[in-house]
Structure 1
């Protein structure tokens, strides 16, 4: 046993490299002043521990660890056409660097498709799951419980569990949407806007968080509190947008935070229709930065760090799949930025 430990130590410090043949048993016996049978028993201990391997007629060699299995990662996102393609690029960059294989599906914001996607990824032998669950369209507690119970690690992407226990084992990597709503208001305030409204959706995963950021900024920056200038709907048609534009004009708004790009673009002609001149009378900040730059008036937009969210989510999952088995839960919130364009030029000074 003492000789086996001594040989193990010599291998550990690199005296013999992986795959290298050890000296013959007789030579080792002479070097250590022991019998050949003692060397053979020591070698048997090292063989049993996987430190060395015997090759018939050739000798004894330092073991070469088997090649690591290529991890197969399941990915489920709600859309392959809006917002998430950039997130997927970040995931793909990390997967390519690490040699992981991706199996990507879309839930199309359909709860049944999401459940089916989870089952298909498990059946395909995926080692881990990156998922943007439809928490705002289903019972979030039940869906999170399902993800916690999976036999493979899962990392949530752009969805943060709400009201979960402090010791929740789920990992999540997300944009800080509250910070985005706050940054949008601060951006407008720095450009001299003091009467700022909010137009948004109610049925999106980011709706409540963006509004919380907006309200926090209005309070912190001592701006006009205009509850009647805050409007949210499940969907915005032309009639609803025209009505909001009239209300904005009557309230004397000089700024609007709009969730998201498409609603902000659709609102532009209605604002002009009631007499606003943009951006001199009223500045506009959109949210998502997917289509904002292509609007008739290029829109300033809150721009989530989508690619970095994907990169960090993939890196987190791969770390949890690593040989160390480090599955310590991770919660990351990434700050979005505001990309200034023509729609938020500074207010004219009197």
Structure 2
């Protein structure tokens, strides 16, 4: 007998509850014996009505949904602390991912901020624990190759912790046995350079910051990717001014123009805040994007708003936040046989018009 849409949707809500309140859409379709396309359409309608929450292929019972069986992971009522170096930039989407996952689980989220260079990570993490956090999601101001003593505190945390968009700066040093979830920035750079190569570019210039974990990973990814693709590696342009004085887009545009005069026609710029300022500055120097310079931004917060819209590497920041929260919940649930996780999620390349082709 053919079910009505409302009957299907009641079954979906009930099944999500029976499966623990958080389930893959594909698993839900298989359980109910309903085509995935139909389930997906019903899930959209239920989410719009506030009866469930959907996110990245998963369906969860939100606060507005009818009460179902208690989640097996016991997340409801827990308090989780999240430490980030800044808000209003890269980490906003990470925070949103954690916040969405916490709300779906009925957990309380407490935010702490330790700005880059403040050496305040340990103190802020301690304050989160003092405020009641039973587990921590940490994005401290680490840099690859940093002295181990700078992050020794990671091995003395009193509660379970997961590193977010970070990992221990040394192979077997402090924090190396903590779980970590992050974006695979090196693979993101590889995707950008492969796109340039598909358009016929044999030399790609990298312009990058040098003051963050992501920046160092982008630089390392450039060195690895040029070697893998057989491209000529070029000296990296530092987008920061002398002595870390902040980015200087006019100076950067001039350096790119010099490279263009030497035959370089493709540039990868970290980050998109710097990249979005370049097209008008290059135009003033007689170079247009994409006719004279193909341009890809690393990060996709503002890239689509540029003129022309910039092709961009888009790290899966929201998904990183959700995955890190889910992993921390497993630690809090006391899964004693759970191995240490080092999870890397692949960025996507958002192709727009700044590379031509």
The 5 A counterparts of 1:75-114 are: 75-114=82-121
1:24 corresponding residue in structure 2: none
Report the 3-state secondary structure (helix = DSSP H, G, I; strand = E; otherwise coil) of the residue aligned with 1:79.
Answer: coil
Matches within 5 A, 1:152-191: 152-165=159-172, 168-191=176-199
Mapped to 2, the partners of 1:68 and 1:217 lie a distance apart of 41
1:336 pairs with one of 343, 347, 356:
347
Which residue does 1:27 correspond to in 2?
A: none
- Counterpart contact for 2:170–2:176, Cα < 8 Å: no
- Report what 2:23 is aligned to: none
Asked whether the 8 Å contact 2:79–2:110 carries over to 1, the reply is yes
Q: Which residue of 2 aligns with 1:231?
A: 237
**TM-score normalised per structure 1:** 0.73
For residues 334 and 258 of structure 1, what CA distance do their matches in structure 2 show? 21
Map of 1:201 onto structure 2 = 209
- Contact persistence 1:157–1:310 (CA under 8 A): yes
Whether the 8 Å contact between 2:82 and 2:136 is mirrored in structure 1 is: yes
Following superposition, the deviation at residue 149 of structure 1 comes to 0.8
Give the 3-state SS of the residue equivalent to 1:159 in structure 2.
coil
Task: State the distance in 2 between where 1:197 and 1:299 align.
Answer: 16
Structure 2 CA distance for aligned equivalents of residues 310 and 68 of structure 1: 16
Are 2:76 and 2:106, in contact at CA under 8 Å, matched by a contact in 1? Answer: no
Give per-residue Cα distances to partners, 1:94-149, cap 9 Å, x unaligned: 21222211111222325344333112112122111001000139955234321221
The answer to whether the Cα contact below 8 Å between 1:298 and 1:341 also exists between their aligned partners in 2 is yes
Does residue 264 (structure 1) correspond to residue 271 (structure 2)? The answer is: no
Equivalence map 1:1-350=2 (5 Å): 70-136=77-143, 141-165=148-172, 168-223=176-231, 225-228=232-235, 230-234=236-240, 235-325=246-336, 328-346=339-357
Give the TM-score normalised by structure 2.
0.72
CA contact (8 A) 2:143 2:169 kept: no
* CA–CA separation in structure 2 for the residues paired with 1:197 and 1:323: 48
Whole-Å separation in 2 of the counterparts to 1:68 and 1:265: 41
In 2 relative to 1, CA 99–325 (structure 1 residues): closer, same or farther, beyond 3 Å? farther
Greater radius of gyration (CA): 1
Cα 1:114–1:323, aligned 2, differ >3 Å: closer, same or farther? Answer: closer
Asked whether the 8 Å contact 1:176–1:334 carries over to 2, the reply is yes
Structure 2 gap ranges (5+):
1-73, 241-245
Asked whether the equivalents of residues 245 and 267 of structure 1 are also in contact (C-alpha less than 8 Å), the reply is: no
Distance 1:140 1:133 in 2: 14
Distance 1:286 1:68 in 2: 38
SS at structure 1 position matched to 2:238: strand
Aligned length: 278
What CA distance in whole angstroms lies between the structure 2 residues aligned with 1:220 and 1:169? Answer: 30
